[in-house]
Amino acid sequence: MCGIAGFFTNGVKTENIEKVRQLFTANLLANETRGKEATGALLVQKDCTWHLEKAALPACEFIQTMRYKTFLQKVDQNTILLLGHTRKPTKGSPENNDNNHPIVRGRTIGVHNGTLSNDDEIFLNHLKAGKESRIGAVDSEAIFALIDELDRRDTLSSRCDNLSRMSRLLHGSYTTLYAHPDDPCRLYLLKYNNPMSVHYSPELDGLFFSSRYIFLRKAFGRSVITEALPSRHGYIFDSRLISHRGKIPSLSFSLSEQNDMM
């Protein structure tokens, strides 16, 4: 069990920057109960630059570090994505920061809540030659290794089909949020049985993601009714469409039913 926190927008208005910083931090803290062994945060900008901080610390200590405070100061009008994670490890020591989230694999950066039972088999048999070596030991890395091999020159429809086929290889439970910083306007969510809720804030013109629905309820009050996304589906959100679509993704697709625990 781990926790995921996120904020996705088409740029933060100057008057909302401090509010976004506060809410993202509160979201991390709310998810601390889901994992206290490590905490991490990713920031992606419109110009494709990104910044990542993570450490083997609970969220309550992580947010007090100078590294996190410096990280927050980078939130500005060009910020598109904030993505956070609180870790309860099942494989891979938190003392090795490569095992902590967000995880970088090639041009893919993401977070995962869940457990895979066949990550070793994925690295042995399902990655291209030369790509089968691991960076860390955490099972989650297998997801992002597979994703990073997909051809992103395809149409979005073909990309959905490829992700759906890829999901057949994943034996276990997972919810993952990931992005390709060189294509910063799109955020991907794969949800297979693990919790994830999303809320659109008109005031901040952005989407808030959280593994803890109660955080959204406390932060936004009665406007949060039922924010849980259906399981066994993948979703693609586009920052350029948020103002018009709210929490409705630009695309959704089914995940394979063949990846249950074996």
Kindly report, residue by residue over 141-200, the tens digit of the pLDDT. 999 999 999 987 778 889 999 999 999 999 998 999 999 999 999 999 999 989 999 999
Structure confidence at residue 151 (pLDDT): 81
Q: What does each C-alpha distance from 54 to 59, 104, 143, 171, 236 come to in angstroms?
A: 10, 12, 19, 27, 25
Least confident of 15-24, 208-217, 225-234, 239-248: 225-234
Q: Is the pLDDT of residue 107 over 50?
A: yes
The helix or strand, by DSSP H or E, that contains position 120, with its residue range, turns out to be helix 119-125
Structure confidence at residue 154 (pLDDT): 79
Task: State the architecture of 3-254 in CATH terms.
Answer: 4-Layer Sandwich (3.60)
- Looking at the whole model, is its pTM more than 0.85? yes
Question: Mean pLDDT over residues 114-133, rounded?
Answer: 90
Helix pair 17-30, 213-220: axis angle to 10 deg: 140
